[in-house]
């Protein structure tokens, strides 16, 4: 990875989990960071403290992405902190687990699409327009999921949001390539975070999941951070409209039994 030092990057959903891992790695690479959070005040303070040990050029902004009308003002604030941005990481999202019959009016479905799909679409469009207006290129990374490619019961809202995010990424890459703006997807597999660490590391659960992965282990938040850094860096400057799947080979196995 190269070309990241002093790049100005906005990371959404940076208060914990993969977003916090992204922030740590990008700070190590010398990036100047704007970190978004919503409700997790203690989490963003921890991320901020971790990042400041690596790079003092960091600020935080709060926004509830369910309130779509607030996104334009939020983006303008983020853009002004370092007098512009070079990259946008759309990481913020909600994981919705429900069967369709328990959400017949699609209330959870709509909320999930607002945060996971509409917000990244709106922020990416604002970022692209700002880059064009200022005569500069840029890079966008959309944090999707393997559920956008292969999914299971309970995940209709979440999987729909991620599959659509994968599709939008390709369209935006085509539309904005002429302006030097790259748009790619990171699709993580099973990565324990604060919300899931306890259950995923129970011996039976760990055996169940890790035996299904050719790599034989879970991913880490820092590994997702390194993948994000690659996608933002000059090492990936001929890469756009692509999905980088980081899942230890889980969906490559195709759910075939081990032999």
**What is the DSSP code string of 79-143?**
HHHTTS-SEEEE-------B-GGG-TT-HHHHHHHIIIIIHHHHHHHHHHHHHHHTT--EEEEEE
Distance from chain centroid for Cα 158:
14
- The helix (H) or strand (E) run that includes residue 21 is helix 17-28
CA–CA dist 39, 115 (Å, integer)? 14
Q: Quick check: is 2 catalytic?
A: no
Report phi then psi at 83, rounded to 5.
60, 45
**Pairing state between β 181-188 and 87-90:** unpaired
3-state SS class at 182: strand
Which of 2, 37, 121, 158 is the catalytic position? Answer: 158
Structure tokens that stand for 119 in this block: 């917000």
Q: Is 33 exposed, middle or buried (0-12, 13-18, 19+ CB in 10 A)?
A: buried
Neighbours of 211 (CB within 10 A): 9
Query: What is the set of active-site residues?
Result: 158
């Amino acid at each position: 990875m190269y070309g990241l030092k002093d790049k100005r990057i906005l990371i959404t959903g940076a208060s914990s989990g993969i977003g916090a891992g992204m922030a740590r790695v990008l700070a190590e690479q010398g990036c100047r960071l704007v970190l978004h959070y919503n409700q997790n005040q203690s989490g963003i303070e921890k991320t901020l403290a971790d990042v400041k040990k690596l790079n003092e050029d960091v600020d935080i902004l709060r926004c509830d992405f369910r309130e779509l009308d607030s996104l334009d003002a939020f983006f303008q604030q983020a853009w002004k902190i370092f007098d512009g941005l070079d990259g946008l990481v759309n990481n913020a999202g909600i994981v919705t687990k429900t069967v369709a019959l328990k959400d017949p009016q699609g209330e959870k479905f709509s909320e999930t699409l607002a945060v996971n799909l509409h917000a990244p679409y709106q922020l990416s469009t604002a970022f692209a327009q700002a880059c064009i207006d200022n005569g500069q290129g840029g890079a966008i990374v959309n944090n999707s999921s393997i559920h956008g490619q292969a999914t299971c019961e309970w995940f209709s809202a979440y999987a729909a949001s991620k599959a659509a995010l994968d599709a939008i990424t390709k369209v935006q890459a085509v539309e904005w390539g002429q302006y030097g703006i790259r748009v790619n997807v990171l699709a993580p597999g099973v990565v324990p975070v604060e919300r899931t660490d306890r259950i995923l590391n129970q011996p039976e659960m760990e055996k169940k999941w890790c035996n299904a992965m050719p790599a034989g282990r879970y991913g880490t938040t820092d590994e997702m951070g390194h993948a994000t850094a690659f996608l933002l860096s000059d090492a990936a400057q001929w890469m756009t409209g692509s999905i980088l799947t980081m899942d230890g080979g889980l969906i490559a196995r195709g759910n075939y039994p081990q032999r």
